[in-house]
Chain A
Amino acid sequence: MIDSIAGGNLVSLATLSQRAIVEVLDTAESFVEVNSRAVKKVPALKGKVIASLFFEESTRTRLSFETAAKRLSADVLSLAVASSSVKKGESLRDTINTIDALGIDAVVMRHSSSGAPVQVSRYVPHVRVINAGDGQHQHPTQGLLDAFTVRQVLAARAGTSGRESGSELFAGLKVLIVGDIRHSRVARSDIEVYTRLGAHVTVAAPGTLLPSDIAQWPVTVATNFDEALATADVVGLLRLQKERGSGAFVPSLGEFTSTYGLTARRAKLLRPEAIIMHPGPMNRGVEIDSQVADSSAAVIEQQVRNGVPVRMAVLYLTTAGATLESDPND
C-alpha cells in the first residue's frame, strides 16, 4: 500500500492506503475553496506541461481534467489520439514516446484497454501518469470524487468539515453499488475507495453482470435488491453499456430496468437520507428514472462539480513536487 501519491502516479486505487486517499480528499477541500474565488487559479503547476491523452473519447472527463490543469496554471497539450496515430497501427510505446519527446511532465490518459496507463508508466518512468479510466480496470479519480462527494454531504449534515472528519463518517456506512459491476472500472475504483475508508459495500446485479469470482471480493452480494435499497446510506448506480444489454448479458434493457433499475417505485423504498449517485452519462429510463435522477436525493451534479477540485488535488499532489525520494532536505 502507498501512503501518499505525492510525486508518484495514480493508475489504480487498489494500492492506495486510507491515508493516501484521505490526503487527496483533504487537498481537494483546499481546491474547492480556490474554485470559489473570483480568480480560480493558483500557480502551483506553473511551467508544467500536462498532456491530455484520450485514446477513447470522453468529453466530460477530458474537460474536467483540463479545467483542473489550467486552474493550476499548467500548460495543457490536448491530443485527440483516438483519431490519429492509433488508427494507423502505431504501438502504444511509439505513441507515448512521440508525445514525451514534446517535453511533458505528466500525462492524463483514457484508454479502452485495461492496464494501458500501467504500461505507459513503464515506457516513460520520468513522466507522472494519471489514469483517467482504462478499459474495465480502474477510474481512480471517479472513485475519489465519489468518496469526496459522500464525505461532503455527510459532513455538511453533521455540521463539520470534510477535512476535520477525515474518514470517520465512512465507518459502517452502507454503500450499495448497482448494475454492470463486471465491466465497470467505476465499480472497481468505488469498491476500493469505499472499503478502504471503512464503508461496507454491497453489490446488486444480475449474475451475468457480476465478476465470476465475486465471492472473493470484499463486498456482499445482495440477494434481494429491494431489501438492499431499504437499508442503504449511499446508492451508486452504474451506466449500463447499451451494447451489453442486447442479449449478451441481459435479455433486454427493459428486463434490466424492471429488475435492477432505480425506478420511481423503487426509490420510495429508500431511506429519506439516502444519497443517490451516478458517474454519468446516465441512461435515463434504463438504470435510473428521470424523476429519481432529478430528485433532491441525487447528488449527480455535485459529483460533476467535485470532479475539478478532486482532479486538481490529484494533479497537484502527483505533479507539483519532486518525488518523495528526492527531498533536498534529506
Chain B
Amino acid sequence: MAERERLNTRQRGTVFVPKSQLLSPEEVQRAVRRMAHEILERNEDIANLVIIGLQTGGICFAERLADVIHEVSGVDIETGTLDVAFYRDDVTIRPVLESAETSVDADLADRVVLLVDDVLYTGRTIRAALNALADWGRPQAIQLAVMVDRGHRELPIRADYVGKNLPTSQEEAIDATLDGVWIGTLVKK
C-alpha cells in the first residue's frame, strides 16, 4: 500500500503530482512477469499460495501476479485484499486513514501467504499487515512482493520479490500502478 497512502492519498487533502516516469507500462509488465516466475520457482506447491493485495496500491499488482501465475502454471490462485488502516502504529500522530475493503475468504492456516504492495518504504505498512494476518490464524510462511523498493526502511523488513529498486529522497513520492511508475511530490489540494 505503500507510500502513496502512507504519505497521503488516503490522508485528507493531498494529491500526488507526477514529475517524471521511471518505468513504462511495458517495463512494469515485464517486472511483474519476472516476479511471477520467481514466485513459482520458490513455491513448489503453488496451489498452497494465497495472494493478498494491500489496499489500495497493492491490489492491481496482486491480481496481475495471480493472473500471470495462472497463465504459466494453470493453477487458480486464491486472492484477497487487506486494509491495514486499523493496525497502523501511527494512527495517533496523524489524521485517521480512510479505510478500504478487506476480503480474506481463504483459511490461512498452514498456507503460504504472499503479501503484495506497490511500494516498500519504511516497512510500517508491512508490519501492520503482519499483525493483521495474525488474526486469521497461523500461515506456514508469509512472503512479500513489491513493485518498487525505494529504501529508507525504519523496521527490519525486506521484500522477497522486488520489481525494481529505486533509491529516492524522502522528499519525493512514488506512484506505482500497472500504468507505470512515476516520481513526483505530494501537494495540498
Task: Give me the interface of A with B, judged by CB distance under 8 Å.
Answer: 4, 6-7, 23, 26-27, 29-30, 33-34, 37-39, 41-44, 47, 72, 161, 163, 316-317, 320-324, 327-330
Q: Is the interface of A mostly helix, strand, loop or mixed?
A: loop
Neighbouring A residues of B94 by C-beta, 8 Å: 321-322, 327-329
Instruction: Determine if B166 is an interface residue (Cβ-Cβ < 8 Å).
Output: no
Q: How near does chain B come to A88, taking the closest CB pair, in angstroms?
A: 36
Cα–Cα, bound, A163→B83 (Å): 14
Q: Which residue from A33, A39, A44 sits with its C-beta under 8 Å from B102?
A: A33
Neighbouring A residues of B8 by C-beta, 8 Å: 329
Neighbouring A residues of B110 by C-beta, 8 Å: none
In the complex, what residue of chain A is closest to B131 when comparing beta carbons? A43
Contact B103 A33 (CB under 8 A): yes
Q: How near does chain A come to B172, taking the closest CB pair, in angstroms?
A: 14
Q: How near does chain A come to B100, taking the closest CB pair, in angstroms?
A: 7
**Residues 67-106 of chain B, each 1 if its beta carbon lies under 8 Å from chain A, else 0:** 0000000000000000101110001111111111111000
Contact A327 B11 (CB under 8 A): yes
Contact B102 A322 (CB under 8 A): no
Contact B91 A37 (CB under 8 A): no
Contact A316 B86 (CB under 8 A): yes
Neighbouring B residues of A30 by C-beta, 8 Å: 83, 85-86, 99-102
Neighbouring B residues of A72 by C-beta, 8 Å: 86
Q: Which 7 A-B pairs have the closest CB atoms?
A: A321-B96, A42-B86, A30-B99, A44-B86, A39-B135, A321-B95, A320-B91
Instruction: Determine if B168 is an interface residue (Cβ-Cβ < 8 Å).
Output: no
Q: Which residue from B93, B98, B103 sits with its C-beta under 8 Å from A23?
A: B98
Could you jot down 15 A-B contacts, CB within 8 Å?
Answer: A6-B12, A27-B98, A27-B99, A33-B102, A38-B136, A39-B136, A42-B132, A44-B86, A47-B92, A316-B99, A320-B96, A322-B94, A322-B95, A327-B95, A329-B7
Instruction: Determine if B140 is an interface residue (Cβ-Cβ < 8 Å).
Output: no
Instruction: Determine if B14 is an interface residue (Cβ-Cβ < 8 Å).
Output: yes
**Residues 7-43 of chain B, each 1 if its beta carbon lies under 8 Å from chain A, else 0:** 1100110100000000000000000000000000000
Contact A29 B11 (CB under 8 A): no
Counting chain B CB atoms within 10 Å of each CB, the highest count among A30, A321, A322 belongs to: A321
Q: Do A43 and B86 form a contact, CB below 8 Å, given A6-B96, A320-B91?
A: yes
Cα–Cα, bound, A323→B96 (Å): 9
Q: How near does chain A come to B97, taking the closest CB pair, in angstroms?
A: 8
In the complex, what residue of chain B is closest to A72 when comparing beta carbons? B86
Contact A321 B99 (CB under 8 A): no
Neighbouring A residues of B188 by C-beta, 8 Å: 330
Neighbouring B residues of A330 by C-beta, 8 Å: 188
Apart from A30-B99, A316-B96: 14 A-B pairs, beta carbons within 8 A: A6-B96, A30-B83, A30-B101, A39-B135, A42-B135, A43-B87, A44-B85, A44-B91, A320-B96, A321-B92, A321-B96, A324-B12, A327-B95, A329-B186
Neighbouring B residues of A4 by C-beta, 8 Å: 12
Q: How near does chain A come to B99, taking the closest CB pair, in angstroms?
A: 4
Neighbouring B residues of A42 by C-beta, 8 Å: 86-87, 132, 135
Neighbouring A residues of B11 by C-beta, 8 Å: 327, 329
Q: How near does chain B come to A73, taking the closest CB pair, in angstroms?
A: 9
Neighbouring B residues of A322 by C-beta, 8 Å: 92-95
Cα–Cα, bound, A163→B11 (Å): 18
Cα–Cα, bound, A34→B103 (Å): 10
Cα–Cα, bound, A330→B14 (Å): 10
Counting chain A CB atoms within 10 Å of each CB, the highest count among B11, B102, B132 belongs to: B102
Q: How near does chain A come to B82, taking the closest CB pair, in angstroms?
A: 10
